[in-house]
């Protein structure tokens, strides 16, 4: 993954890298974060993040989610809240790495896969922690496949 991103220009705003970052944020990590929050019984927060239309809004809702989770930790299922807290932390880091002024596609990829890992654990009802690693690896494979298809698409259309 790192080599492929470097070949595409690393931190430059090439069409491929920009499209890849957008896919990681909106199609992969946001969906995974929403799943974790729903499984942790934080549906209202999940709905806010799902309905956010831009990166600043998604960061704002994620930071509010982090504060809310911290206030609930003493009262609820710690596994679910720990997963939600971890997923929100990773998502905020990913979203900030996706901001145009700080764009870092490698960091976006890394943090997006981590959010997906938390979702992998969440779908087991927070019972099988090994699914976290499996989901992270699966997310990275999906990213590599998507990035390769973007590269191929842009090469065939002449976009560089």
Q: What is the pLDDT of residues 113-158, one digit of tens each?
A: 999 999 999 999 989 999 999 999 999 999 999 999 998 888 787 6
Q: Which two tokens stand for residue 119?
A: 């979702």
1: in domain: no
Identify the domain containing residue 65 by its residue range.
Answer: 15-154
125: in domain: yes
160: in domain: no
Q: Is 63 exposed, middle or buried (0-12, 13-18, 19+ CB in 10 A)?
A: middle
Question: Among residues of the chain, what percentage have pLDDT more than 70?
Answer: 88
Q: How far is CA 95 from CA 10, 87, 123, 130, in A?
A: 17, 12, 23, 26
59: in domain: yes
Are 102 and 21 within 8 A, CB to CB?
no
What is d(CA 57, CA 53) in angstroms, rounded to the nearest whole number?
7
8: in domain: no
What is d(CA 9, CA 19) in angstroms, rounded to the nearest whole number?
13
pLDDT top residue among 4 and 39: 39
104: in domain: yes
110: in domain: yes
Domain count, the chain: 1
What tens digit of pLDDT does each residue of 19-40 get?
A: 999 999 999 999 999 999 999 8
Torsion over CA: 1, 99, 66, 35 (sign): negative
Count the neighbouring beta carbons within 10 Å of the beta carbon of residue 114: 23
- Return all residues near 115 (Cβ < 8 A) that are at least 6 apart: 28, 29, 32, 33, 36, 87, 90, 91, 94
73: in domain: yes
What is d(CA 139, CA 94) in angstroms, rounded to the nearest whole number?
14
Q: How far is CA 116 from CA 32, 36, 121, 158, in A?
A: 5, 9, 9, 32
159: confidence class by pLDDT, cuts 50, 70, 90: low
Q: How far is CA 130 from CA 29, 100, 144, 150, in A?
A: 19, 34, 22, 31
pLDDT, position 11: 46
Query: What's the rounded mean pLDDT across residues 6-16?
Result: 60
Are 143 and 16 within 8 A, CB to CB?
no
Q: Is the pLDDT of residue 69 over 80?
A: yes
């Amino acid at each position: 993954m790192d080599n492929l991103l470097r070949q595409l220009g690393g931190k430059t705003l090439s069409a491929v890298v920009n499209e890849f970052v957008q896919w990681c944020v909106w199609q992969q990590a946001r969906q995974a974060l929403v799943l974790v929050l729903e499984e942790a019984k934080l549906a209202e927060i999940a709905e806010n993040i799902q309905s956010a239309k831009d990166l600043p809004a998604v960061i704002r809702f994620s930071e509010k989610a982090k504060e809310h989770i911290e206030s609930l930790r003493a009262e609820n299922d710690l596994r679910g809240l720990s997963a939600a807290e971890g997923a929100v932390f990773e998502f905020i880091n990913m979203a900030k790495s996706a901001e145009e002024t700080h764009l870092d596609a490698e960091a976006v990829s890394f943090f997006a896969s981590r959010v997906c890992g938390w979702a992998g654990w969440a779908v087991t009802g927070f019972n099988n922690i090994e699914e976290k690693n499996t989901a992270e690896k699966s997310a990275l494979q999906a990213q590599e496949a998507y990035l390769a298809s973007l590269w191929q698409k842009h090469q065939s259309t002449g976009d560089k």
